[in-house]
Amino acid sequence: MIVVTTPTGQIGREVLARLLDAGTGSPPVRVIVRDPARLSPENRERVEVVQGSHADPAVLKEACEGADQIFWLVPPTPSADSVTGHFRAFTEPLCEVIRTQGVSRVVAVSTLGRGVAENAGLISAGLAMDEAVAATGVHYRALCPPALMENLLRQTASIRDEGVWTEALAQDRVLRTCATRDIAAEAARLLLDASWTGYQDVPLVGPDELTPEGMARVLSEVLDRPVRVRQITAAEQKAMLTRHGADEAWAQGIADMVDALNSQGFYGAAQPSTPHTAPTGFRQWCEEVLEPAVRG
């Protein structure tokens, strides 16, 4: 039995689709979902559904009864009043079911930001999650993407209407990226493979070596119109997030992450690409995902 968290989210829904398309002989799938109505009718008929949040110990215990493997993702929650507390609220129940219910493998979405300062916001919280889960002794694969290409989808309106997207990361530094489809593909592959053991980080780094300015040039070519990057500070990004309803602590966590990226550069050119785990290039993603969103 495979348990899938966030099955209606950006990554989780693709993981679920790939597991259900795996064919005969693949393990049964159980999902944890707050609102089962958000699952497609076809998927609801093919999975076991446990309703609730996977931060709820009782819900997670029910979902993991008899399960061998878990796809794990802590959902970003801008309304959370503590980044560290938010990650801990999900991680502690997971560690408990690992210890008490015989779960043998966990595949989790983590971050590429290894070896960074403690004050790196969401990155630091994600790394603390990895350490806590690994300490249980469970077989563990931490999927480690850098910046997600899909983050640009939040700015489709400004790209369409103004030819501008805002970025708080340094414009002249290579920014490694990854498409969520590649994260989902690797997660599903691991969940369907019962042979791996131990702990391992799995980098998912796309093939490009583009700065934000270089990404803007690709966008201009794909959309056949000028697109430029407008540089903002981490403080300005924090203010934008709070104006759009994010809690002060969550917005500060994003700002701390941006400051760490800009000062330490661990998403930079020194990180090699991993074509076997992240084959999707930025231009391909723009043509297949961003352009239809902008024009639609």
In 3-state terms the chain splits into helix, strand, coil percentages (rounded to 5) of 45, 15, 40
Arithmetic mean of pLDDT, 16-32: 91
Arithmetic mean of pLDDT, 37-47: 91
The domain that contains 88 carries what CATH number?
3.40.50.720
Residues forming a β-bridge with 30: 3, 48
Does 96 fall in a domain?
yes
Does 166 fall in a domain?
no
Q: What is the pLDDT of residues 116-166, one digit of tens each?
A: 666 888 888 999 999 999 999 999 999 999 999 999 999 999 999 999 999
Residue 256 token pair: 């701390």
Does 262 fall in a domain?
no
The residue range of the domain holding 110 is 2-146+178-203
Task: Quickly list DSSP for 71-103.
Answer: EE-PPP-TT-S-HHHHHHHHHHHHHHHHHHH--
Could you give the strand order of the β-sheet that contains 139-144, starting from the edge strand earlier in sequence?
Answer: 48-51, 29-33, 2-4, 69-72, 105-109, 139-144, 199-203
Q: What is the pLDDT of residues 162-212, one digit of tens each?
A: 999 999 988 888 889 999 999 999 999 999 999 999 999 999 999 999 999
Does 240 fall in a domain?
no
Dihedral, CA of residue 38, residue 39, residue 45 and residue 46, to nearest 10: -160
Query: Which is nearest to 19 in space by CA: 185, 170, 205, 217?
Result: 185
Cα distances (Å, whole numbers) of residue 151 to 50, 67, 177, 204, 219: 29, 32, 10, 16, 14
Helix (H, G, I), strand (E, B) or coil at 254: helix
- The phi-psi region of residue 224 (left if phi > 0; otherwise alpha if psi is between -120 and 50; otherwise beta) is left
* pLDDT attached to residue 123: 87
Does 68 fall in a domain?
yes
Integer Cα distance of 33 and 180 in angstroms: 20
Least confident of 179-193, 244-258, 276-290: 244-258
Locus of tokens 């959370």: 80
Helix (H, G, I), strand (E, B) or coil at 161: helix
Amino acid present at 18: R
Question: Domain count of the chain?
Answer: 1
**pLDDT of 265 strictly over 70:** no
Does 291 fall in a domain?
no
Does 261 fall in a domain?
no
Does 8 fall in a domain?
yes
